[in-house]
A and B are shown apart, each in its own frame.
Chain A
């Protein structure tokens, strides 16, 4: 049994989730990684270094830049017969391409997998994580997206074989117009060990910086509720929840967040949760491991000062 993992990458950097997807895929068979795009040498090297990867297959073509579903689908259709499983992270590229590929191959995909119980048995959440489905697929081939946060990363230090794949026939239909990237050198939200999340109660983009300061102090990634993103206080790629990113940090600090079920869907995997909220009845206060009830505008600056005093540095 061999498994193909589609690598997600941006600006010449391999996505941090790839090592986790490889670790999950290794439960299913020998793992090959597909790297698609132009100028992907660094991405290829990074993929080859992940423990458990047998081959990195490289499809070089400008038509694959942007990793559009229209360009990737025929390429994956062509490679799929060599594999029992074709897998991508449950992130924007994988979510875009795997269902399209599935329809082309007349297969039902299993997406957002959080546990692999066997070669054809998987667990996936439904209803914003309020229920977990155990699914068996008796299809000849399995197309999966996997939640990176549900798996630990594979180790580094491998040197997998690198081999080219013919991508000469690939054509992108979509034309690139513009990209808006959130600048900054914060840790990757989906895989961060610590995340500080802020809600709409921060009140403005300027005041949302308080959340970012606390995150900076802890070397944490920054998350936000949909309400905070909709209000323009935080960029969309910080949204955590059913329709944003799913995170599973060791520590999640929720600042002024009520804990709507769509938000909780994104943090179920967090090991420890701390809530700072003025409302003792807020759902997040009730389920947090530690909660401090009070005004975040007093608590957060005092907390930063206290962490400073204790010499916390990460």
Chain B
């Protein structure tokens, strides 16, 4: 400093201006807060152009956070526009190169028709934000102060741009976040909807299942038939309310108990055996559809039921369900029908008897009419005098003849109803049995009946009417053979046994394997028959024959299995002579 006051004052003034400019430039950052890079560029150019009296100023902003690159140029005087920003930019960049570190602090170049001193300044430590180029025609450009201001401005712009970049990036991130949140929200909403649908479907399925279960439950609850399930051990798993009506057990009471409590004693072991065999072999010991068996109520009373079985496998275990219908009423109805049929049959027999009586009346009436007429004729011939005597005699002879005949008819009828005392001779019953069996051999063969005998060899002779006793044996044996006609499931076997019961009595038994009889006394009544074409006389005749021989005849029948007819006859030795 030479100490020249004007220069000094100039210098002070210049420095003061510089400080003012610096303050202005530093104030820019406040304006840039929150601004976008392009606004920053605008403000920077305007501020520097105004502050530093430049002729031109150029800025190039590289791509920042997705913002497009920006090139701007300002001239001090708009009319003096010498070239457009892009062309100038291209030239400027060629001049300065790409590496900010190699940039010259100032260079003199010609732009348009002017020579300009240009100063390039990088934005950012390595020019990563772009560059600023300030130009002035002044040759002393840039002065120190100008350089300072440019540098500070560039730094300020850099800070502002950095902030802007952060802001943009934040915005961008926020946007991205929003987008992601929105996307996630959409996805969640969709998932939610899906879930809702799924829930609805499941609920629907559950309802359908419940409704179907409900339906089945209602059916099972309302059924008139007892529906009882049991497991592989034969224990009851469930029973429906009808079980109460049919068996007298509360449905809850039987659960866990063996199924056999619903059966009479005699059937239990049979069921257990059959069930075990089924589990082991899969073979059913009875038909599973509508089989009729005997069941037992809680009070011990037995009754007929019709049972159908079903089987299902659940978790590897078999469950059996029985549908049990009480058929007592049906059975009773069938019985009642059978009874009324029997009554009808008897009524028919009685009608037949009526006809029989009518025919007997005719038999007697005819000779009687002849007798009366002949009697009248005889009287008339007698009253006619001697000429009529022969005629009268003839008429009288006819009266005798026809009267006898009427008597004979009456005798025949009486014989038919009342057996005359048997003509008694000594008889060997075994021999008689043999004779009758020979007579019936064909019949037995035809009906597939096996005849077996066990004839005692110590039988005493009986005194009796040979024909009548033959008739007795014939009736009893034929009855036995015919009784087995309905038997298809077991051998048809007729067994005849004779033995000396005691010194005074011989016993003969005739046993068949037929259906048995219900009333062992009724069968001996006249006109009682179970055969479609029977007269119901056979056993009645047998009884009267045995009675006439002072013996005894009776029948015994096991339930549904065969009948034994037995008769005893006194031996000859016991008959008082």
Please determine whether chains A and B interact with each other in the same assembly.
no
Which B positions have Cβ atoms within 8 angstroms of A?
Answer: none
